Amino acid sequence: MNKSILIYVLTGILAASIPAEAAFKATLIMPGDKSWEGSIIARDGDWIEFSTGKSPRPIRLGASTIKELVFDVKLDAEKLAEMNRNREYERVIAALDRAMAPYVEYSDIPSNLTKYNALLMELYYKTGDFEKSLEVSCKIAGDDRDLDLQEKSRIYQALALIDSGRSDEAEALLSEYGWDQGLDNDAAPEKLYITAKLMVLKEQYSNAMELVAKVIAFNSQNPDWMQPAELLCAQVYAELGMYDSAEEVIRQISLLYKNTNEDDQAQKLKIRIEQLRAEQELKKSIEPENV
Amino acid sequence: MNFFHRYCGIALKASLLVVFLSAGTSAAQDFSSMGISDVVASADRMLQRGDYGAAIPALEEVISRTALLTDSQGMDTAQTCRFQLARAHYQTGNVASGMTVLDEYLANEPRTKERIALRMMAQGFFDTQEWDKVENIAVRLLEFPDLEKEDIYNANLLLGQALFRLEKWQEAVEPLANAAKTAKDQRIKSLCQIMIVRALVEAENWRELFGWIPRIYRTDSKYDITLNLTLMKAGKVRFEDDDYLNALLLYRMVLPREELLEFSGEYEKKLTAKLNKDMKVGIPEAEVEERQNEIKDLKTSIKTLSELPAYEEEVTFRIGQIYAEVKRYWESYVLFDKLYNSDRNSEIGEASILQSVLILYDVGENNRAEERILQYLDEKPDGLYARTLLNMMVRDNLVRQEFSNVVGLRTSVEGLPAAGSDDEKTLQSDLYFMLAFGYFQSKDYKLAGEQFSVILDSFTDSNHAADSLYYRGMTFMLQGDYVNALTDFKAYQAENEFGEHLSASLFREAVCEFGLENIPSAEAVFTRFIDKFSDDVLVSEAYSMRGDIEAAKEATYEDPHTLDRALADYRKGIDKAFSAQQASYAAFQAAKVYKLEFKWQEIIDLMQYYMDRWEEKANVAESVFWIGQSQIELDQVDDAVTAYLDAIERFGNDPLQQGVDKIILELVKISGYHLSDEDRDGLAVKVKLKLTSIDERMEVLRLRLQVTQALLEGDDIAAALGAELLESNIKLALTTPASLSLMCDAAIDTGNIKEMDRLFEYFNSNYEESDLLWHAYRAKTHKLLTEEDFWGVLASIDEAQGLFGAEAFMAWAQIIKADTQFKMEKFKEAEKEFNMILGVPEWRGPVFAEAMYGMGRCRLALGDLETAHSFFQRTYLLFKSYADGEWAAKGYLAAADVLIKLGREEDAVKTLQAMLEDEYTNTSPLAEQVREQLKKYGGQ
């Protein structure tokens, strides 16, 4: 899901160590889009010291008056992309954390770090660290410079809440964003998917099934949402006791999404279904004795 | 498909003429007269300024002079010029000549530009579409060591395309994949990917294909029209080969036509605009031509797609079918639902409603399925699938035994237009048949019979006709209309020599004869049935019924063995039984016969035999009841008591073991009639001990023991227990006939109408066969009486009397019946009902007095004072001792009143005086009233 961000982030950026001294190369963009190349020297509470290198003394600016900072973050894009392909998420997270650590002090100021944070948000979610994913996504959700990113962060907000079992908050969030309305055939796949997940959390499996079925039936050319939707679909079929159906979906996941997180989870589900079937068989074999 | 070959005309501007290059500047056209150095110099100049046409004669001249040289410099010059000549031909568009020259170049030494020459050759063959030659050259190119990335890319691109054109599908994939991987031009990357997909589809290499698809579908390549048509075609082939999984994955990648057309239209505009812009800047003619071809191909694809009939709905329908086929029901459902809602009137729309409903039933969403069906029927009562859908709904309800829902659909069934085709007739007859069954199962036999008649009258060719005949017979039989039932059963046998219900119809024929009291015929038919169908499932019942007939016969001198024959039949009934119920009937009927003959030990033996034969399925409690009764008769009272207590303890926690309730009552009876005071106390202690020692979880048994204890202690205690149970709102699931009877009586005593109703419903629906059910009817009747629903009272009594007749405990019913008629001022009928009481010896007692008094009241109401007086008089003369003289006292008073009405005051006084002198009435509460009355007559 949402590989585009990853690709975007990892394109043409190479890893480099951040200078030990406090000065960072950065582009300062002020309201009205006037910008200066230079270095951030230091931060003193709400004040930022910025040097253009042309005048002997740095200028002091209120942090809240800065429209955006563009840091010169250096990452080895190809290496990170490869690690991500290999699903070495922890390593990617560590690399991003390292690369962004020096800028933590400026995290309250809008900057080009948002796209890296968006990547982190996804990776935290993938590794099951929903709290951190939620923390990052909430922050991005309040940043309207990039509407696509903002929308994506909202999705992760909802997903993180649902996966951490916070159904009431998730429900309130969906209602706030109006995602609980108009869940018809033409609804956006992410909206259907998230609501389906919420229904699963609330153990309303039939409702969940219908929603996730819509994602699959009407968005089959959308690989970003098909992959998680198919896994969810198999899970819900299993919850409904429709094991044959669940196994059929698992078979398709294995065929289409080999070596993915979804495939791994589908294989685990397959084992669980086998256990459930065995229990069912055992129960059946015992039942006549009880009669 | 647009095949694209990237020939990068890598700068062939390298200076080649190392040896002969000199400053020659001749512009003469006749090179033959020039020295070779000058010719070479001229060629070089012309090549350098791009005048390829003019360079050709010069290069040819050099070649002609150096071709035969064998020294290395000469050979080198000749080869260099051959290469340049070929290039010049290519540049001037004379590819064929260029290729001829390249042939010569490649056949000679040295070949320092061999790779470029090969690529140029390949380009030539590409243009002439000689794919096998392109393949050979590309393979040759790839064999070169130390190839540059660019060379590898170009060679793979050539090879992939050639193999693709040669339809070597699987072989084409690898070079195309290599080219796609390294292509810098996104357009070429896309085209390679599209070719790969096509090749994998054609090679039917699904696994690899589905690995590529997610990659492609993240790019705009997914909008390629040819790709979509290829996937659709492949999907269809897979579907037709029943390869549903692959068909599904192919089909579901196909984009809607409008989406493809929209994207392709925009793309074509973009390409055209870009080309025009680039042409203004200036680009090679070859590139112009190539890009124009690409646009032309795109336009052709758009046109092809536009002219195709709409495929989306068909594809969607197929995807839906496949999802259903592979048990992904919900995906299937939402697709069919969408199709139906997008066009309800099209053929696909109609087919979709059918499919969606089928799926809803598959996933157990029956209510939603029914909503859809009813909505469809409402919108389209004559819709294509109206009959089919209604059929599904009725059938589903029948299977789920929701018979009231089945019959509730009668209006819909009858609302269907007349069937035209044979298929429609079949569906329609199915519907009527199921409707008939719905009524049958709802025990509404009259309406069931009417529906079976619809089939017999209107669908004579239906495959349900024979069944309908049999079942209509059943409906007649169950309504007691044995004449018509007999006709149908006989007709069925005559028309269906090998019919499914042949044996059953013969059995029912016998039952009907029995019902018509044609006993010899019934016996004969039962015998015929037994002979003909000795292993039939009904043969046990046939034996039992024939046994009943034999048992009912009067033994005569000529035929003294009727009971023996009856017993033999019952024994067979036990042996041949298919169910415990059949065996039980035979066994207990036999016990009744033995009882008539006082064969108590035989009863004990028979019950043991029956229990051994049916083991845990046997009605053990009932058997123990019979054994106990026999033991009493054999003076084995202690054994009987022990057996009864044991049976109560063993089976008492199962509410369905109704024999336990019979045992309880029998035990109470034994206690009263057969036990000494000491033994009676002992029994009470035993019951009490059991009550204190049972497991708390055995709640049903506990209640039964409580009832036993109360009944042993007397009627008042039992009545108090009934009231207590009523008050405590005990869970009815714990109750059984014994406790329910007490509760029903208590409800009457306390006037608790709500409980009367609830208890009747529970009792009747759970213990319909109980001998104690009359308590429930009595409660129900009292409830109706309280509500002054007199017609309801009469109906309730009719039902009760239908079940229990004139048993000793049923006098209440007849009294209430007569009283109710009286209240309805139907005095003659009331008198008749009262009079009937006097004809039942079992009711002798206070009821007789009440009946006689009632008859008097009727006559009085009719104004027949003389007869009324006579009835009142008989009341106090004949039944004075009943009910502590209550009825006699009432008779005296009523008689006196009548005498006064007749003007015979003196006689009235005498009657009242007689009452006060009568020892049965002079202490009656009414006596005081009489004394006061007599004072009025002046102390007469």
Domain of residue A229: give its range: 191-291
Residue that has been written with the tokens 């590529």 in this structure = B212
The predicted pLDDT at position B739 comes to 95
The shortest CB-CB distance from A217 to any of B206, B213, B331 is to B331
Pairing of strands A47-51, A59-62: antiparallel
Q: Tell me the DSSP string of B310-328.
A: P-HHHHHHHHHHHHHHTT-
Confidence of residue B938 (pLDDT cuts 50, 70, 90): low
**Residues in A touching B193 (Cβ below 8 Å):** none
The predicted pLDDT at position B872 comes to 95
Contact A206, B329 (CB under 8 A): no
**Contact: B327, A245; criterion CB under 8 Å:** yes
B658 vs B654: CA distance, rounded Å: 9
**Residues in B touching A210 (Cβ below 8 Å):** 330, 333-334
Q: Give residue-wise pLDDT tens across range B216-228.
A: 888 888 899 988 9
pLDDT average, residue stretch B56-68: 89
Q: Give the SS3 label for residue B552.
A: helix
Interface mutation vs chain A, best among B328, B338, B342, B362, most A CBs within 10 Å: B328
Interface mutation vs chain B, best among A204, A248, A262, most B CBs within 10 Å: A248
The shortest CB-CB distance from B328 to any of A218, A249, A256 is to A249
Tokens standing for residue B341: 């809602």
Q: Give residue-wise pLDDT tens across range B486-502.
A: 999 999 999 999 999 99
Interface mutation vs chain B, best among A220, A237, A263, most B CBs within 10 Å: A220
Does the pLDDT value for residue B21 go beyond 60? Answer: no
Q: Is B252 on the interface with A (CB under 8 A)?
A: yes
- The dihedral sign for the CA sequence B546, B551, B554, B555: positive
3-state SS string for B511-545: HHHHHCCCHHHHHHHHHHHHHHCCCCCCHHHHHHH
CA-nearest of B207, B142, B182, B157 to B3 is B157
**Residues in B touching A244 (Cβ below 8 Å):** 327
CA-nearest of B902, B900, B893 to B929 is B893
Q: Give residue-wise pLDDT tens across range B231-277.
A: 888 898 888 888 888 888 889 888 989 999 999 999 999 999 999 99
Task: Measure in Å the smallest separation between the Cα of A221 and chain B Cα atoms.
Answer: 5
Interface mutation vs chain A, best among B222, B334, B338, B339, most A CBs within 10 Å: B334
pLDDT average, residue stretch A171-179: 92
Confidence of residue B781 (pLDDT cuts 50, 70, 90): very high
Alpha-carbon distances, residue B706 vs B624, B644, B721, B900 (angstroms): 20, 15, 8, 55
Percent of chain A with pLDDT over 70: 91
Q: Is B363 on the interface with A (CB under 8 A)?
A: yes
Confidence of residue B33 (pLDDT cuts 50, 70, 90): confident
**Contact: A218, B326; criterion CB under 8 Å:** no
Confidence of residue B585 (pLDDT cuts 50, 70, 90): very high
Q: What are phi and psi of A108, to 5 degrees?
A: -80, -10
Q: Does domain B788-936 have CATH number 3.20.20.20?
A: no
Q: Is B255 on the interface with A (CB under 8 A)?
A: yes
Does the pLDDT value for residue B10 go beyond 50? Answer: no
**Residues in A touching B352 (Cβ below 8 Å):** none
Percent of chain B with pLDDT over 90: 57
B768 vs B644: CA distance, rounded Å: 23
Interface mutation vs chain B, best among A7, A231, A235, A245, most B CBs within 10 Å: A245
> In this structure, what CATH number is given to the domain that contains residue A216?
1.25.40.10
Confidence of residue A22 (pLDDT cuts 50, 70, 90): low
Query: Would A251 be classed as within a structural domain?
Result: yes
Task: Name the residue type at position B917.
Answer: E
pLDDT average, residue stretch B761-767: 93
CA-nearest of A223, A247, A219, A221 to A235 is A247
Sorted by where each begins, the domain ranges of chain B are: 1-128, 714-776, 788-936
Task: Measure in Å the smallest separation between the Cα of A16 and chain B Cα atoms.
Answer: 27
Task: Measure in Å the smallest separation between the Cα of A255 and chain B Cα atoms.
Answer: 7
Pairing of strands A24-30, A68-71: antiparallel
**Residues in A touching B330 (Cβ below 8 Å):** 209-210, 212-213, 233
The predicted pLDDT at position B763 comes to 95
- State the average pLDDT for chain B: 89
pLDDT average, residue stretch B607-632: 87
CA-nearest of B735, B810, B789 to B767 is B735
Beta-bridged to residue A25, according to DSSP, are A39
B639 vs B631: CA distance, rounded Å: 7
Contact B818, B830 (CB under 8 A): yes
> Of A134-143, B466-475, B927-936, where does mean pLDDT reach its minimum?
B927-936
Tokens standing for residue B558: 């000529």
3-state SS string for chain A: CCHHHHHHHHCCCCECCCCCCCCEEEEEEECCCEEEEEEEEEEECCEEEEECCCCCCCEEEEHHHCCEEEECCCECHHHHHHHHHCCCHHHHHHHHHHHHHHHHHHCCCCECHHHHHHHHHHHHHHCCCHHHHHHHHHHHHCCCCCHHHHHHHHHHHHHHHHHCCCHHHHHHHHHHHCCCCCCCCCCCHHHHHHHHHHHHHCCCHHHHHHHHHHHHHHCCCCHHHHHHHHHHHHHHHHHCCCHHHHHHHHHHHHHHCCCCHHHHHHHHHHHHHHHHHHHHHHHHHHHHHHC
CA-nearest of A235, A254, A255 to A245 is A235
Beta strands in B357-481 (DSSP E): none
Give me the interface pTM, i.e. the ipTM.
0.84
The predicted pLDDT at position B170 comes to 95
Cis peptide before A223 (omega within 30 of 0): no
The predicted pLDDT at position B551 comes to 86
Confidence of residue A17 (pLDDT cuts 50, 70, 90): very low
**Scanning every residue of chain A, which has its alpha carbon at the shortest distance from the alpha carbon of B341?**
A185
- Cα dihedral B571, B572, B575, B581 in deg (nearest 10): -80
Does the pLDDT value for residue B92 go beyond 90? Answer: no
Does the pLDDT value for residue B758 go beyond 80? Answer: yes
Contact B34, B20 (CB under 8 A): no
Task: Name the residue type at position B631.
Answer: Q
Cβ neighbours of residue A286 closer than 8 Å, sequence gap 6 or more: none
B573 vs B609: CA distance, rounded Å: 13
Contact B813, B790 (CB under 8 A): no
- The dihedral sign for the CA sequence B30, B32, B34, B36: positive
The predicted pLDDT at position B1 comes to 31
Query: Would A157 be classed as within a structural domain?
Result: no
In what side-by-side order are the strands of the sheet with A68-71? Answer: A59-62, A47-51, A34-44, A24-30, A68-71
Residue that has been written with the tokens 């029948």 in this structure = B398
B780 vs B813: CA distance, rounded Å: 11
Query: Would A196 be classed as within a structural domain?
Result: yes
Q: Is B245 on the interface with A (CB under 8 A)?
A: yes
* Long-range pairs of B254-263 with CB within 8 A, sequence gap ≥ 24: B254/B228, B254/B311, B254/B315, B255/A221, B255/B222, B255/B223, B255/B228, B256/B312, B257/B305, B257/B308, B257/B310, B257/B311, B257/B312, B259/B223, B260/B223, B260/B225, B260/B228, B260/B305, B261/B302, B261/B305, B261/B306, B263/B220, B263/B223
CA-nearest of A144, A143, A100 to A119 is A100
Q: Give residue-wise pLDDT tens across range B421-449.
A: 888 899 999 999 999 999 999 999 999 99
**Residues in B touching A214 (Cβ below 8 Å):** 334
Task: Name the residue type at position B182.
Answer: T
The predicted pLDDT at position B361 comes to 94
Alpha-carbon distances, residue B854 vs B67, B664, B782 (angstroms): 149, 36, 19
3-state SS string for B892-903: HHHHHHHHHHCC
Confidence of residue B14 (pLDDT cuts 50, 70, 90): very low
The predicted pLDDT at position B322 comes to 92
Query: Would A153 be classed as within a structural domain?
Result: no
The shortest CB-CB distance from B253 to any of A221, A244, A251 is to A221
Cβ neighbours of residue B404 closer than 8 Å, sequence gap 6 or more: B438, B442
Q: What are phi and psi of B600, to 5 degrees?
A: -70, -40
Alpha-carbon distances, residue B281 vs B277, B278, B286 (angstroms): 7, 5, 15
A2 Ramachandran zone, left/alpha/beta (phi>0; psi -120 to 50): left
The predicted pLDDT at position B474 comes to 96
**Scanning every residue of chain A, which has its alpha carbon at the shortest distance from the alpha carbon of B616?**
A291
The predicted pLDDT at position A277 comes to 92
**Residues in A touching B338 (Cβ below 8 Å):** 185, 217-218
Q: How many pairs of residues across A and B have Cβ atoms under 8 Å apart?
A: 70
The predicted pLDDT at position B28 comes to 43
Q: Is B217 on the interface with A (CB under 8 A)?
A: yes
B825 vs B819: CA distance, rounded Å: 10
Does the pLDDT value for residue B476 go beyond 60? Answer: yes
**Contact: B245, A251; criterion CB under 8 Å:** yes
Total number of domains constituting chain A: 1
The shortest CB-CB distance from B338 to any of A185, A222, A233 is to A185
Task: Name the residue type at position A116.
Answer: Y
Beta-bridged to residue A69, according to DSSP, are A28, A111
Confidence of residue A287 (pLDDT cuts 50, 70, 90): low
